[in-house]
Amino acid sequence: MSGIFVMMFILLTVSLVLGATRRNRPPLGDSGYPPQLGPRAQQPYPLFQAPQPPNPFGQQAYGSGYDPAAHQPMTEASRRAIDEDITRFGDELRDLDFDVVGRILDDATQADYTLALDAYDGAKQQLAVARSNADVKRIAEIMESGRYAVACVRARATGQPVPERRPPCFFDPAHGVSVSDVSWAPPGGAARQVPACAADVSRIRTGHDPSIRMVYAGPQQAMVPYWDHRDYAPWAQGYYGRYGGDPALRSITHGALMIGGFSLLMGLLDD
């Protein structure tokens, strides 16, 4: 009898361990994940790391990866912006699901689709525990990579070339990957080249205004472009930071070509 009890105990222990380690990813909205993708890769999104609390012992304890933003509390403006972006990205993924349903996706397309879904999950998980400006920047980086992955899925699924890895649309990073630089002048300012999505390129070239992300600012809660609100700095830095060498971005963050407060928002380009 003792042998039977030992075997039962071992089986129960193994079941509990397997149950605790089994990945249980929630579905995306009501549409779920595309059936043609098959089993999801059991690897975390490459940019997802749990936010770390500020280190009280200073820069040396962090080493070369020290980020002063980790000590700055997350602004409500940045949290609201990234939360809105995650919601919009979820809608985009549901639309993408409908666009590719019934298509046979090759391995490269499935890999991009998985990256996009992982970006959505990773961004949600990070926002739930975000506390600092560094966390906001990290989430925006994840979203930027996720939107590029979506652009790759759309291109591959329709037999088009994979898009160039370019900065997000300057007028609103939630518009996704820019397709080209377009000449645009802010009210009362000089024209300069800015990266823009296909829709905003079309608007500008046909004489219309681009769709600029407007946010509330000041005691009167006036609507201003996001680049004129310093609380959006970590959010913008997360989207554009990796493109510090892009000529169009550098032209609008230096000297006479500066647009509003975008030079302030993109201060990390010179880090």
In a domain, 5, yes or no: no
Q: Do 62 and 153 sit in the same domain of this protein?
A: yes
Q: Which of 213, 217, 216, 195 is nearest to 204 (CA)?
A: 195
**Predicted local distance difference test score (pLDDT) of residue 99:** 86
How many domains are there within the chain? 2
Q: Do 183 and 262 sit in the same domain of this protein?
A: yes
231-265 tens-digit pLDDT = 898 899 999 989 988 888 888 876 555 676 676 56
3-state class of 77 per DSSP?
helix
End residue of a domain, out of 157, 188, 211: 157
Residue ranges of E strands in the chain = 180-184, 192-196, 214-217, 222-225
Euclidean distance between CA atoms 50 and 190, whole angstroms: 43
3-state class of 47 per DSSP?
coil
Q: What residues in the chain have per-residue pLDDT under 50?
A: 14, 16-66, 268-271
Q: Do 153 and 183 sit in the same domain of this protein?
A: no
- Give the pTM: 0.73
**Predicted local distance difference test score (pLDDT) of residue 244:** 83
Burial of 107 from C-beta contacts in 10 A (0-12 / 13-18 / 19+): exposed
Q: Do 137 and 193 sit in the same domain of this protein?
A: no
**Predicted local distance difference test score (pLDDT) of residue 56:** 29
Distance from chain centroid for Cα 70: 18
Residue ranges of E strands in 21-80 = none
Q: Do 184 and 254 sit in the same domain of this protein?
A: yes
160-188 tens-digit pLDDT = 999 999 999 999 999 999 999 999 988 87
**Predicted local distance difference test score (pLDDT) of residue 100:** 86
Range of the domain at 193: 173-270
**Predicted local distance difference test score (pLDDT) of residue 217:** 82
The tokens describing 254, both together, are 């230096």
Euclidean distance between CA atoms 104 and 194, whole angstroms: 36
The tokens describing 28, both together, are 């995306």
End residue of a domain, out of 101, 133, 157: 157
Q: Do 58 and 148 sit in the same domain of this protein?
A: yes
**Predicted local distance difference test score (pLDDT) of residue 257:** 54
**Predicted local distance difference test score (pLDDT) of residue 92:** 95
Query: What is the chain's alpha carbon radius of gyration, rounded to the nearest angstrom?
Result: 22
Q: Do 233 and 257 sit in the same domain of this protein?
A: yes
In a domain, 199, yes or no: yes
**Predicted local distance difference test score (pLDDT) of residue 186:** 85
